[in-house]
Structure 1
Amino acid sequence: MQRIGIIGAMNIEVELLLGNIELQRKEKIAGFVFYVGKLYGKDVVITSCGIGKVNAASCTQVLIDRFGIDGIINTGIAGGLHKDVEVCDIVISSNVTHHDVRKKQMKNWFPHQEYFEGDRELIEAAEKAFENSDVITSSYHLGRIVSGECFVDDTKLKEQIIKGYSPHCVEMEGSAIGHVSHINDVPFVVIRSISDKADGKATISYEKFEKITAQNSATIVMNMMKIL
């Protein structure tokens, strides 16, 4: 892969990466700021897309169209859903999908996919990056990541999502990034560090672990640049 696009939703999710980039230039397009440069010798374009699937999809398409991206990494934080996923753990996407779009709609209408597969090369690089990192966490998990247009902090909604999709974690951008990457035939992976358990205590946990988990995920991405 000649040039990697790295997307976080919020500035906190990319600030560690921006602190290490050899910056060549900045471009502002459609309200998004793109930082073009090198990270450990790898050509990268780093951006934050804002919260939510529409923002994420828009930013991803601009990234692909304007910068000739060969692969995309989405970094950030998420709410844990799987019973084995603990706060500060890392989840690497085997695949992604929308938890707020009907499966029938996904399958029967464009793009005729119930979910979008993460790229094997990027997944393997993320796994190796975890093994070579010193992030504040106990383990990583390879599994499904789901996204929707809401912050999940309700136990009933959490249970519905688990029952319908069997995911490892939930957030608000990854499936849109995977969706746009898929229709453009661009390899992708989503990497998330768990800030909360997507339950009634989610907001308190999120506020406590937001910075730690954002840096955890970004650290994995930085280590991936040494491997790819």
Structure 2
Amino acid sequence: MAPIARVAVLFAMDAEARPLIDALGLTLDADAFARVGGDVPMRVYSGTLKSGARVDVVCAGSCARHNVCNVGTVGAALSTYETCATLRPDVIVNAGTAGGFAKRGGEVGDVYVATKFKNHDRRIPIPGYDKYGVGEYDAWPTPRLIEALGCKTGVVCTGNSLDATETCRALLDEFECSVKEMEAAAIAHVAHLFNVPVIAVKTITDIVDGPQATEEEFLRNLSSAADALRDVVPRVVEFLDGKSVDEL
């Protein structure tokens, strides 16, 4: 299989993306999604790796109405669709911050690589729709990458709320979830339509089953988690460079 020629790294928040953009010396490609027309919120920063492969960092951008980052599945799906349709990457890396679980050994600052993606808040108790709601997708297998990073692995579950209801918590336990976040399953769903492999790398900002309020712990640890992403995501991109997806 041919080496990877184009890598797309998708982020929901600018604070998560900026360290990688700076580390790789990427520049804004204002015309990347020009075919769409209108003022789409996504921003693309592009450059070239040592092998000559192209790398594109795609940020979901900001909501013009509320002046906040486009976190959640809607922004993620839009970013992924345009990335796949326009940039046509060989592999997608979704990087970002997330919640972890003490009961499964998670700690603030941990780095996880996803093994599987599921939705924990799309509950449709109708035969057929129930499985559609969960939307289970396997992450692309990356045993060599995981060994090189020395990181943890686990199931990543996606929902559109920062907190979790008791019903969500029960599903998170049923799914043996190690990482709770707001984008990855949507990215995996859209990438699957284009047959693009997906890798997800998440750093833990808060402990879902811990004593502290999720929003307070998240905000307190966002900066340090972004620093962890700054350290690990360039290593991920460097590891991909010059390899085929089957060599990961």
| TM-score bracket, shorter-length normalisation | 0.7 to 0.9
Aligned residue number for residue 208 of structure 1: 220
> Which residue in the other structure is 1:130 paired with?
149
Match of 2:229 in 1: 217
Structure 1 residue 221, shift from structure 2 partner: 1.7
| TM-superposed deviation, 1:218 | 3.7
Give the letter aligned to residue 4 of structure 1.
Answer: V
Change (3 A) 1:218 1:98: farther
1:170-209 pair list within 5 angstroms: 170-199=180-209, 200-209=212-221
User: What is the TM-score with the length of structure 1 in the denominator?
Assistant: 0.84
1:201 CA displacement: 2.2
- The CA distance in 2 between the partners of 1:219 and 1:103, in whole Å, is 39
For 1:51, give the aligned amino acid: V
The alignment covers a number of residue pairs equal to 217
1:53 aligned partner: 73
SS class of match (1:27): coil
Shift of 1:103: 7.1
**1:34, 1:47 within 8 Å by CA — same for their partners in 2?**
yes
Contact 1:153 1:203 in 2 (8 A): no
State the shift of 1:211 in Å: 1.2
1:1-59 superposed Cα distances (whole Å, 9 cap, x missing partner): 11000011100111111102343651253221111212455421102112010110010
2:83 alignment partner in structure 1: 63
User: Which consecutive residues of structure 2, in runs of 5 or more, have no partner in the other structure?
Assistant: 34-39, 61-69, 241-248
Partners of 1:115 and 1:146 in 2: how far apart? Answer: 9
| 1:214–1:25 distance in 2 versus 1, CA, 3 Å | closer
SS at match of 1:20: helix
* Structure-2 residue corresponding to 1:135: none
Counterpart in the other structure of 1:34? 44
1:93 maps to a residue whose letter is A
**Matching residue of 1:88:** 109
Shift of 1:150: 0.5
Q: Match for 2:76: what amino acid? A: A
> Aligned letter for 1:100?
D
Residues 79, 152 of structure 1: 8 Å contact kept: no
Q: Highest CA radius of gyration, 1 or 2?
A: 2
